[in-house]
């Protein structure tokens, strides 16, 4: 039994040496996830404002200009603050709020999955099958699918909820040892 405890303690020592790495990777994954939506919003803010405000084909949000700028700015700042681990707990809160808004304005009507699951939904399986038949008959199906399978984007809440859980982890646990927050915190404790 003592030998087993010794092995476990050595394992814990090894894990302790890299305990900041998973949080760093989590921050980078979140930053990557927010980067493209932020850049898309900022690259054509007029279209973003129109999408936020239009009730027929958009989100129909009140004050679309303010909300578009708030979402784009939060996401853009979030990218850089997450990458460097600066104010991580603070920026994670408005990012969570932005994700909650995304759930209720964009994703909630589409179910759970980001990618439609043909095994769970015969209609999705039928649509994928029909699309494959059309592509095989009228296009170069091999070229079209050589980078990946043909799928239906369901755009459900799966990814957004995952982001919220990751952000909540950063709020409660912090950004980890490989962050500016950690370095500044250690420095402040010494003074």
pLDDT tens-digit readout, 108-134: 999 999 999 988 889 999 999 999 999
| CA distances for 145 relative to 2, 33, 43, 102, 128, angstroms | 55, 24, 29, 30, 13
User: Model confidence over 130-162: pLDDT tens digits?
Assistant: 999 999 999 889 998 999 988 999 999 999 999
User: Model confidence over 74-84: pLDDT tens digits?
Assistant: 999 999 999 99
CB 74 within 8 A of CB 95: yes
| CA distances for 92 relative to 27, 45, 164, angstroms | 10, 23, 9
The rounded Cα 103 to chain-centroid distance in angstroms is 12
The three-point CA angle 176-164-174 to 5° equals 15
User: CA 110 to CA 172: how far, in whole Å?
Assistant: 30
Over 90: is that where the pLDDT of 190 sits? no
CB 163 within 8 A of CB 37: no
Among candidate residues 83, 78, 75, 38, the one with its CA nearest the CA of residue 175: 83
User: CA 24 to CA 26: how far, in whole Å?
Assistant: 5
User: CA 128 to CA 139: how far, in whole Å?
Assistant: 15
User: CA 18 to CA 164: how far, in whole Å?
Assistant: 24
Least confident window among 30-34, 55-59, 171-175: 55-59
Q: What is the model's pLDDT at position 177?
A: 92
191: confidence class by pLDDT, cuts 50, 70, 90: low
Nearest 10 degrees: Cα torsion 166, 167, 170, 172 = -100
User: Model confidence over 2-19: pLDDT tens digits?
Assistant: 999 999 999 998 888 888
pTM of the complete model beyond 0.85: yes
């Amino acid at each position: 039994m003592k030998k087993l405890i010794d092995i476990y303690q050595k394992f814990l020592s090894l894990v302790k040496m890299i305990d900041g790495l998973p949080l760093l990777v989590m921050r980078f994954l979140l930053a990557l996830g927010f980067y493209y939506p932020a850049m898309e919003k900022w690259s054509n803010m007029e279209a973003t404002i129109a999408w936020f405000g239009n009730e027929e084909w958009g989100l129909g949000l009140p004050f679309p200009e303010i909300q578009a700028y708030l979402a784009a700015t939060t996401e853009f700042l979030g990218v850089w603050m997450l990458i460097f681990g600066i104010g991580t707990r603070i920026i994670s809160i408005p990012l969570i709020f932005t994700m909650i808004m995304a759930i209720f304005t964009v994703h909630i009507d589409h179910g759970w999955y980001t990618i439609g699951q043909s095994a769970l939904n015969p209609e999705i399986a039928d649509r994928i099958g029909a699309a494959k038949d059309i592509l095989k008959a009228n296009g170069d199906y091999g070229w079209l699918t050589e980078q990946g399978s043909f799928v239906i984007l369901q755009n459900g809440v799966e990814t957004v909820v995952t982001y919220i859980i990751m952000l909540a982890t950063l709020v409660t646990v912090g950004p980890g040892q490989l962050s500016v927050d950690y370095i500044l915190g250690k420095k402040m404790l010494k003074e």
